[in-house]
Structure 1
Amino acid sequence: MKRRVFALTLALSMVLLAACGPKGEDNSSGNQSSSTGSNSDMSTMAPDGSTSIPDSSAPDASQPDGSGSTSSDSSQPPVDEPQAQASLSLNRSDFTLFKAGATFQMKAKADPAGGALTWKSSDESVATVSDKGLVTAVAVGNATITVTDSETGLTASCIVRCNWEEQKPEEGGPADGSDSSSGSSSGDTSTPAGNVDLSAFASDIMGQYEFGMLQLLDADLMEQLYPGMGAVSAEQKLIYGTLMTMNNGEFGLVQVKDSKDVDTVKSIFQTRIDGMINGGAWYPEPTRIWTENSRVVSNGNYVMMVVHENCDAIVDAFNALF
């Protein structure tokens, strides 16, 4: 019995050896080149038949492909960040001065900042410019004001138009409203032969000076803010107001058809100013502006109200129209 069991065991061993032996030899020879090296890189088999792989041979999970290679990263060319484009601009591209000696402050914005700015006038017999950008009217004509940035070499330019009647002496209402009635009393003699385009004048003034959030009032809003103005018969009627609580100024221009209405318009304007001074402006700074920098003037059938820090310069420009 024992011999039979031994024979069967021997036969089974021979069969297994015949089936597995050549395949193991092929694998060992085929892997000969890849298995050379340190024994620490070889996998080991435990007595229970399980296989373990040394940590040094495990793939690096931190690499995208698990290979641990950084060759693909080093082959990528460096990416250049986009460079900001230099620029130079002015607060105006075109403006008008209505009187010799009138001034306007030009402002330049440079990016990057830090370079020295050089100002130049193309014709100093018409208009001059200071090293701070202050333009002064000299004589009737046009000139180009140019600023150059020493840092970038960029330039920006603006046209200044000096426009008034040299042969006619200055005349018109005073800078404050106290004596403005005398201007209206002589209105028939001072009215120009041709109409003054108040819309063009308003555009020039609001182009030169910052007025904030002004809008041309329609009939309903005009009557709310300037009661009685809608009933005045006028050739031209332009009232620029704001509905914001922080009201730093307004601007009104009216040409009446009948000179008798000049005082009516001036009274309406003054009522608006008084209301803003006495609580309507709400805040301290707007109240100060309405108190110190409000003007109502007239010339012939033309009446202007202006509330602005540069009110006197605007009054001069208005008077220069006639």
Structure 2
Amino acid sequence: MKKWIVMALAACMLTSLLAGCGSKDAADKQVDLTAFYTDLSSQYHWSEDPQTSQEGDLLMSSVEGELLESYYPGLADLATEQLIVKAPMMSSVVNEVVFAQCKSEDDAASAAEILQSRVDAQAEGGAWYPESMEAWGKAKVIQNGTYVAMIASAEHQTEIEDAFNALFA
């Protein structure tokens, strides 16, 4: 009888030790969105400096202030830990990205709604050109816990989506 009790206690201890070794939820994972964007810009030849850009680079710009409020009404009012909003300097090129870490999942859900409104408006005529509206129609808003992304890229849509999702795998 004592052997069975000892074995049962040992099994309980082993189970509790193994439970403590499990991986954390993706929502608990900390992701450096600036590093992620920097990697994307290097991989896809996005530049923010016309002076140092090379032939074939896509010139990107930060979206801030009044332009941010115009594109994404209410986004700046949400509590964020990290916020990266980039768009091409030429509006006919579809390559707009937003990466945010909000302070709460409720704020992330609100951000996702705001970003989806931008996608819908552009796809439904705001992007003007038929090819641009088609590309915006394929854009995605992805929420993973407190992290949210809006990816609208005519050339690299699926690759950027996959890279963002891989951050939480």
TM norm. shorter chain > 0.5: yes
Secondary structure of the corresponding residue to residue 275 of structure 1: helix
* Alignment match of 1:299 (pick from 139, 144, 149): 144
Give me the whole-angstrom Cα distance separating, in 2, the residues matched to 1:296 and 1:196: 17
| 1:116-149 residue CA offsets vs partner (Å, 9 max, x unmatched) | xxxxxxxxxxxxxxxxxxxxxxxxxxxxxxxxxx
* Larger Rg computed on CA atoms: 1
1:259 aligns with 105
Give the CA deviation at 1:245: 3.7
* Alignment match of 1:192 (pick from 21, 24, 28): 28
2:133 aligns with 287
Residue 107 of structure 2 corresponds to residue 272 of structure 1: no
Secondary structure of the corresponding residue to residue 128 of structure 2: coil
1:221 aligns with 67
Q: Is the 8 A contact 1:249 1:289 kept in 2?
A: no
Give the CA deviation at 1:219: 2.6
1:237 aligns with 83
Give the CA deviation at 1:280: 1.1
Give me the whole-angstrom Cα distance separating, in 2, the residues matched to 1:243 and 1:192: 35
Q: Is the 8 A contact 2:85 2:97 kept in 1?
A: yes
Give me the whole-angstrom Cα distance separating, in 2, the residues matched to 1:314 and 1:278: 23
Over the residues paired in the alignment, what is the CA RMSD in angstroms? 2.2
Give me the whole-angstrom Cα distance separating, in 2, the residues matched to 1:246 and 1:213: 12
| Counterpart amino acid of residue 26 in structure 2 | S
Percent of aligned positions that are identical: 35
Higher relative contact order structure (alpha carbons within 8 Å, sequence separation ≥ 6): 2
Q: Is the 8 A contact 2:109 2:143 kept in 1?
A: no
Equivalent residue pairs, number: 135
1:57 aligns with none
User: Which ranges of structure 1 fall in alignment gaps of 5 or more residues?
Assistant: 1-167, 170-187
Secondary structure of the corresponding residue to residue 246 of structure 1: coil
Give me the whole-angstrom Cα distance separating, in 2, the residues matched to 1:284 and 1:196: 35
| Counterpart amino acid of residue 39 in structure 2 | D
User: Which ranges of structure 2 fall in alignment gaps of 5 or more residues?
Assistant: 1-21, 47-57
Secondary structure of the corresponding residue to residue 282 of structure 1: coil
1:206 aligns with 41
Give the CA deviation at 1:243: 5.5
Alignment of 1:1-322 (within 5 A): 189-193=25-29, 195-210=30-45, 212-242=58-88, 244-292=90-138, 294-308=139-153, 309-322=155-168
Give me the whole-angstrom Cα distance separating, in 1, the residues matched to 2:127 and 2:59: 15
| 1:281-307 residue CA offsets vs partner (Å, 9 max, x unmatched) | 111211111113x11112111111111
| Counterpart amino acid of residue 141 in structure 2 | V
TM-score by length of 1: 0.39
Q: Is the 8 A contact 1:250 1:307 kept in 2?
A: yes
TM-score by length of 2: 0.72
Give me the whole-angstrom Cα distance separating, in 1, the residues matched to 2:121 and 2:45: 23
| Counterpart amino acid of residue 43 in structure 2 | Q
Give me the whole-angstrom Cα distance separating, in 1, the residues matched to 2:163 and 2:128: 30
